[in-house]
Amino acid sequence: MASAALPRTESNVFAPNGALTIARAGSTQRELDAMADPIEVDLSGVDRIDTVGAWLIHRTVRDRQASVTGASPDVAKLLEQVADADRPSDVKRPKKAGAVSELGAWTLQFGRTFAGLLGFFGATLIGLFSVLTHPKRFRYNALVQQFDVVGVRALGIIGLMSFLIGIVIGQQGAVQLQQFGAEVYTINLIGRITVRELGPLMTAIMVAGRSGSAFAAQIGTMKITEEVDAMRTIGVSPVEALVVPRILATIFVMPLLAFWAMLTAIIGGGVFCWIGLEIPPLTYIQRISEVVPATDLWAGLIKAPVFGFIIALAGCFQGMLVANDSEQVGLKTTAAVVQSIFLVIVLDAVFAVFFSSVGWI
- Reported as a single tens digit per residue, the pLDDT across 256-294 is 999 999 999 999 999 999 999 999 999 999 999 999 999
Question: Cβ distance 42 to 60 under 8 Å?
Answer: no
The backbone region for 181, taken as left when phi is positive above 0, alpha when psi lies in -120 to 50, beta otherwise, is left
The mean pLDDT value of the chain amounts to: 88
In angstroms, the CA 344 to CA 339 distance is 9
**Is residue 144 pLDDT above 80, yes or no?**
yes
pLDDT of residue 104: 86
Instruction: Give the CATH fold of the 13-84 domain.
Output: Transcription Regulator spoIIAA (3.30.750)
Q: Which whole number is the average pLDDT over 6-19?
A: 68
pLDDT of residue 21: 83
Q: Which residue has the higher pLDDT, 316 or 105?
A: 316
- Reported as a single tens digit per residue, the pLDDT across 19-56 is 888 888 888 888 888 888 788 888 888 888 888 888 88
The overall pTM is greater than 0.85: no
| 3-class SS letters over 10-46 | CCCEEECCEEECHHHHHHHHHHHHHCCCCCEEECCCE
Q: Say what percent of the chain tops pLDDT 70.
A: 94
Q: Classify residue 45 as exposed, middle or buried by CB count within 10 Å of its CB (0-12, 13-18, 19+).
A: middle
The helix/strand/coil state of 71 is: coil
**Is residue 169 pLDDT above 90, yes or no?**
yes
Domain boundaries, the chain: 13-84, 121-357
pLDDT of residue 5: 44
- Reported as a single tens digit per residue, the pLDDT across 227-250 is 998 998 998 889 999 999 999 999
In angstroms, the CA 123 to CA 102 distance is 31
